[in-house]
Structure 1
Amino acid sequence: MNHNTPLTPRPLRHLTEVHRRVLTVAQLRSHGVTAAVVSEQCRPGGPWQQILPGVFLLHPGPPTSEERLHAVLLYAARETPSAGVPVQPGADEPHRPGYTEAMITGLAALTLHGFSASPPLLSLERIDVLVPRLRRLRSTGCVNIVRTPALPTPCQVTGLPVAPVPRALADAVAGLSDAAVVRRLLTEAVRGGHCEPASVVRELNRAKLLTRPHVVDAVDSLLAEGRAIAEDRLYRMVREHGLPDPVWNVDLRLPGGPHLGGVDAYWPEQAVAVELDTRAPRQDEDALWSEYARKREYLERLGITVVHLTPRKLRDAMDQQATVVRTALMASGDRDPAAYVVVLPR
């Protein structure tokens, strides 16, 4: 027995199918495979091959997309005493290795999330893997290491840890110079219901990508797309929940006086306004929020109730938002009459 021989080898039959084909040197050692055997199996023309440093493919052909994904995660994941070899499961339950401090991001993550605008996995020369900034890893082979001060909570997609869509988008956009591709990816994120525009712009801003002209242009299209979707949800909410018809997209003014601001829906008899918050979290966010707050405060001083809705609330809790609006309409009879305002289309 030598230092490469485990005291209690673990049987390969307890691994899932893909994890029988892609293993690290530490995992092979835990299954009783010595370094000498690994070297012999990986000889030229042999049945195994080294796909990444310390990661082996236990067949001679090209790796499948699934094998590549698991290989890059095995390479990037932090080693633990049981890395990739969890506690012994039941007889019929295979091992599903956990990948600590590593997740798929970038274009590969978007493809796993179901984006049609991202390329097939096998066409990607490199797969982006997100790891903590202080990890001592380097990009090599098909692995591109992406570092971050704080890892987001991963999504589990086909059993793999995958970065959330906003973060994956930011990491993908960082490596893209084609404006049309960037626009298609950002548009699909919103149109496909993967996330809200604000969360995408927040990640792009955090990654300092909003100084690139082609990214700024794509963001403008994204925000327009997001507003259109939010407005459509607002129309649906009024229609499907039996709310009275408002006047849509109007400007409010005092008679002969100043412009009070635009609102997305207004019920003149009840003096209730709905405003969609589709702000993008960019550098001028504080100024924009101050403008929203000033307008709301001014309207409410005139006796107009302002209901503030976000696209996310309309998407995730439309019933609840309809109740909020209905309550505001019903409460109008208990308030003092609002000041008379002029309603103009915008």
Structure 2
Amino acid sequence: MTQNTPLSPRLSLDPRDVTHRVLSAAQLRARGVSAAQTSAQCLPGGPWQHLLPGVYLLRPGPPTGQERLRGALLYAGRPPVSARRAPAGPADSGYGEAMVTGAAALALYGFATAGDLEALHRIDVLVPRTRRLRSTLFVEVLRTASMPGAVRVGEVPVAPVGRALADTVADTADAADVRRVLTEAVRDGHCEPTAAVRELSEAKLLGRPAVVGAVDALLAEGRAAAEARLYAMVREHGLPEPLWNVELRLPDGPRLGGVDAYWPDQAVAVELDTRAPRYDAPVRHGRAEADPRWSAYPARRERLERLGVTVVRLAPRRLREAVDQQATVVRTALMAAADREPAAYVTVLPR
């Protein structure tokens, strides 16, 4: 039996497609290839090789990063024996609930700090906690009681960015490396700071020395990115130029609080909602306690609106994903100023 001789009329292989080069034992059986035939093809010097338990690479030579990735998913996606009632069809992905996470997931998302998929020595795969599956060779199996919804990167099921970040950070001891990957996540728009901090909190990583300073940098990067989007929105959508980053207070009176943009003629203020859970707070019920400053936001807004100042709060995620809509919200608030009673006089100072 030669490499080019098909084993079965149902075994059609396209060497350009990784899903045809890497198959599980169940997928081979569904294509009419018996266990004995598979074993014969994997003999020393044969055209196939045993990549992982129950997973085969249908060509000789070292596996590529994409081949190892598919092999890891096939290995982790094998159903437990109790669930193997019907044979897999030829088109079955074989991945089950498994999804890629950690550095391999970040590489698929395009993170420069994650490196090239080909260079990664390990592929982390997330599976339900009930799975009894061991890590082996280049596959690290991570179990969780709460599986997130997978994101498809091409045909590959991948954990959401926040979860992949947390799994990467959990395996990273160097503070500089943690800072770089978290900063890149926010700077390049992969993930909002609040989502990243929430996942780090869920994973109980916020108290690690390597993480504390990195979270400071993450939040600062998130605010800077949100401010840049706000500046761009005002200019690109033809809104009047506001006073940027100012503090409002009553004349010779108490501070009313800082705002990110203020239009004094219309008495309209914009606040960026860049709040995040406290990373230095005690964790209760698996979550870090909320920053007590959160409670100050509604009180400050109510105080300003009693004085006739309209406060528009913009979420950084909405500025990134729906900037046209957010510009319309601000423009509507500015136009509505003509129909309101004049606002109380407030002093505007640099913040």
Alignment of 1:120-131 (within 5 A): 120-131=116-127
- 1:314 counterpart residue number: 319
- 2:331 counterpart residue number: 326
User: Greater CA deviation, 39-48 or 131-140?
Assistant: 39-48
Partner Cα distance (1:290, 1:219) in 2: 21
Give the counterpart letter for 2:146 in structure 1. Answer: A
Report the RMSD for the aligned CA atoms in angstroms: 1.9
Q: Give the C-alpha shift of residue 82 in structure 1.
A: 5.0
Partner Cα distance (2:207, 2:96) in 1: 33
- 2:305 counterpart residue number: 300
Give the counterpart letter for 1:21 in structure 2. Answer: R
Give the counterpart letter for 2:202 in structure 1. Answer: R
Alignment of 1:7-46 (within 5 A): 11-13=10-12, 17-46=17-46
Give the counterpart letter for 1:335 in structure 2. Answer: R
Alignment of 1:55-70 (within 5 A): 55-70=55-70
TM-score (norm 1): 0.89
The answer on whether the counterparts of 2:31 and 2:90 sit within 8 Å (CA) in structure 1 is no
Alignment of 1:134-153 (within 5 A): 134-153=130-149
The answer on whether the counterparts of 1:272 and 1:305 sit within 8 Å (CA) in structure 2 is yes
Partner Cα distance (1:40, 1:137) in 2: 27
Partner Cα distance (2:38, 2:140) in 1: 26
Count of aligned pairs:
329
Alignment of 1:223-302 (within 5 A): 223-282=219-278, 283-285=288-290, 287-302=292-307
Structure 1 segments unaligned to the other structure (5+ residues) = 1-8, 87-95
Give the counterpart letter for 2:243 in structure 1. Answer: V
Residues 293-316 of structure 1, C-alpha deviations (whole Å, 9 max, x = no match): 111111111211100001111112
From 342, 347, 351, give the equivalent of 1:337. Answer: 342
Question: Aligned pair in 2 of structure 1 residues 256, 82: CA closer, same or farther (>3 Å)?
Answer: farther
TM-score (norm 2): 0.88
Question: Aligned pair in 2 of structure 1 residues 169, 83: CA closer, same or farther (>3 Å)?
Answer: farther
Q: Secondary structure at the match of 2:132?
A: coil
Give the counterpart letter for 1:11 in structure 2. Answer: R
Q: Give the C-alpha shift of residue 34 in structure 1.
A: 2.3
- 1:117 counterpart residue number: 113
Residues 158-201 of structure 1, C-alpha deviations (whole Å, 9 max, x = no match): 32111121111111111001112111111111222212221111
Question: Aligned pair in 2 of structure 1 residues 18, 322: CA closer, same or farther (>3 Å)?
Answer: closer
- 1:170 counterpart residue number: 166
The answer on whether the counterparts of 1:78 and 1:101 sit within 8 Å (CA) in structure 2 is no
Q: Give the C-alpha shift of residue 12 in structure 1.
A: 1.5
Give the counterpart letter for 2:141 in structure 1. Answer: I
The answer on whether the counterparts of 1:84 and 1:99 sit within 8 Å (CA) in structure 2 is no
Partner Cα distance (1:330, 1:22) in 2: 61
Structure 2 segments unaligned to the other structure (5+ residues) = 1-7, 279-287
From 100, 105, 111, give the equivalent of 1:104. Answer: 100
The answer on whether the counterparts of 1:12 and 1:20 sit within 8 Å (CA) in structure 2 is no
The answer on whether the counterparts of 2:276 and 2:291 sit within 8 Å (CA) in structure 1 is no
Q: Secondary structure at the match of 1:340?
A: coil
Alignment of 1:78-89 (within 5 A): 78-79=78-79, 81-83=86-88, 85-86=90-91
1:220 and 2:216 aligned: yes
